Structure 1
Amino acid sequence: MKKILVLLFSIILAIINQSCDKGTKGSKTLLPNVSGKSGEVVVVISNSVIKDTIAATFKAILEEEYPMIPQSEPLFNVVMIPTSSFSDIFKSHRNIIIVKVDDSFKEAKIVPQRDVWAAPQTLLNIVGPTYPAIQKMIIEEQDRLIQLLEQAERDRIVQNAKRFEAEGLRNFLEKKFGISAYFPKGYKLNLDTTNFAWISYETPSTTQG
């Protein structure tokens, strides 16, 4: 929840930029909902290296301390799963990284997929000819790796805001300011002046607005 509060402004901008929801059609509607908590990432890696430096590198990158908040908190919470234990119970998770080594791969790379076993799911296949090659690549591409996972979490928040929309706020903003934004239930219009409006979500201990 703390990370969601920090990302609130960028999420609202993303919602504003998405004025229409095309929805998900076809076979994807048959997929189950994702499991797992926000910010949780399952990393699937060979039993032989799960305690090696490459696994430690994944944890160091993904569990780096979140910037610009007063308390210490990781970017993501990593769950390491040996390949042999990657059963159906884990396949519905919201964020999955699968590490695969095969000499048929000419280079190490990140191959993203969406909604493979559940929806809305992000699956990152990290493949390469050797584990050292993969380790070198994820160090060099760590910003992209983090961005892909952060964007997936933002997209889910945007989808939920559209699905559980607070009635009336979007129409109010469209008429008054010419913008389209989705706010989840619980947000209310607290102030409306000529050139300014304040919309917020209030609880006994927090304010989001």
Structure 2
Amino acid sequence: MILRFRLLIALLIALITFSNCTDQASQRSLPRHSGMPGEVLIIMPDNTYDAAPGDSLRARLETLYPQLPQGEPSFSVLHFTPAQMSKMLQNHRNIIEVVIGPNAEGENKISFQKEKWSSDQLFIKITATDEEAFYKLLDSEFDKVTSLLNKTEINRIQSRYRDHGNTALQEKIENEYGVSIYLPDDFKVAKESNNFLWIRRERVKYMGNTPHDITQGIFIFKYPYTSDSALTQSAALSVRDSLLKENVPGPKEGTYMTTEYKYPPTSEVINLNDRYNLLTRGLWKTENYFMGGSFMALTTTSNDNRNVVSISGFVFAPKFDKREYTREIEAILRSATFPEIP
């Protein structure tokens, strides 16, 4: 009897172990995607990539990322031929495969697939019977491609912040401002005042053997909602400039952060969680001092429509490209939700 009992226990342990191993194996079935944020790998024969079709494709991927101090392409392009593709390259985060000619098998279309060869991967295939059909696809459909590439990169950032975020600071913001956002765990409070919160993230990146500081900051503030005009770009930036002058001083007396209007900011209305949001992009500067960078601001109303709530983020990285740091700010802003308060 004792022997049977021991055999039963051993069998149960073996089954549990096998089940766990099976679950872990299924989770490991796809390798992690590779590549740097913002990279797109193009699979295309040399004779078309180095000719007009390749030029047209690159031109659309390398359009300037909006509102940066220096021009930077929206995506960084890598190119390999079908024969050069290896298992390691197949794991890249963003892949566009282009087939023009007889191998397109009579199809003119752009198709999308997630996780073809690696986890959280975006795979895009463009098939066209000839070059004319290829150009028509680019003209009619490629805006969807660039939009999805940007959205996928933002989702990856948000997923990372959601899984490894600053929970305590997120709870503080939700309790005091009624908005929930994803934040990386190294954000810290820089300043608090009446209905204004400044949090920032400091990192060091080396150029050669010399360290340089990189700063990302988020301002969260609220003020009474008096009319619909409060949600216009001019009104939102006017309040922002006033609060930054009061709360964000520069390195010398009489200096402070403000908006750079020589290069006019741009705004668009976006729908986040079925609510009206004004997303503004622009450049910031330090009044009476040589400092500046990019910023983004999300302006909307509180759940009870009594207040305007603004989440504004900026980047200061004078020695480096700013595209991906700005995309991280965009990911934080677009993570905003307004939980209902019981």
1:129 aligns with 2:118: no
Give the alignment of 1:48-67 within 5 angstroms: 48-67=47-66
Give the corresponding residue for 1:187: 187
Question: 1:180: how far off?
Answer: 2.0
The 1:46/1:156 distance shift into structure 2, 3 A limit, reads: same
| Secondary structure of 1:70 counterpart | coil
Task: Determine which structure has the larger strand proportion and give its number.
Answer: 2
The 1:84/1:186 distance shift into structure 2, 3 A limit, reads: same
Q: Give RMSD over aligned pairs.
A: 2.3
Give the corresponding residue for 1:167: 167
Greater Cα shift, 122-131 or 186-195? 186-195
Question: 1:133: how far off?
Answer: 0.8
| Secondary structure of 1:186 counterpart | coil
TM-score, normalization: structure 2? Answer: 0.49
Distance 1:135 1:95 in 2: 21
Larger-Rg structure: 2
Amino acid at match of 1:147: S
| Secondary structure of 1:30 counterpart | coil
Distance 2:195 2:114 in 1: 41
Amino acid at match of 1:69: L
8 Å Cα contact 1:47-1:84 kept in structure 2: no
| Secondary structure of 1:97 counterpart | strand
TM-superposition CA deviations, 1:131-168 (whole Å, max 9, x none): 33122211333322211111111111111111221230
Distance 1:30 1:172 in 2: 38
TM-score, normalization: structure 1? Answer: 0.78
| Secondary structure of 1:117 counterpart | coil
Question: 1:83: how far off?
Answer: 1.2
Question: 1:119: how far off?
Answer: 1.7
Amino acid at match of 2:179: I
Give the alignment of 1:55-94 within 5 angstroms: 55-94=54-93
Give the corresponding residue for 1:206: 215
Amino acid at match of 1:168: A
1:110 aligns with 2:115: no
8 Å Cα contact 2:200-2:215 kept in structure 1: no
Distance 1:193 1:200 in 2: 15
Give the corresponding residue for 1:13: none
8 Å Cα contact 2:40-2:93 kept in structure 1: yes
| Secondary structure of 2:112 counterpart | strand
| Secondary structure of 2:73 counterpart | coil
8 Å Cα contact 1:28-1:115 kept in structure 2: no
8 Å Cα contact 1:47-1:83 kept in structure 2: no
Distance 1:141 1:166 in 2: 39
Greater Cα shift, 26-35 or 144-153? 26-35
Distance 2:79 2:139 in 1: 18
TM-superposition CA deviations, 1:87-106 (whole Å, max 9, x none): 21211101100112445344
Give the corresponding residue for 1:119: 119
8 Å Cα contact 2:33-2:118 kept in structure 1: yes
Question: 1:79: how far off?
Answer: 1.0
Amino acid at match of 1:206: T
Distance 2:120 2:29 in 1: 12
Distance 2:105 2:91 in 1: 28
Matched-pair identity in %: 29
Greater Cα shift, 191-200 or 60-69? 191-200
Distance 2:26 2:109 in 1: 28
- Structure 2 spans left out of the alignment, 5+ residues: 1-23, 204-212, 219-342
Distance 1:27 1:113 in 2: 19
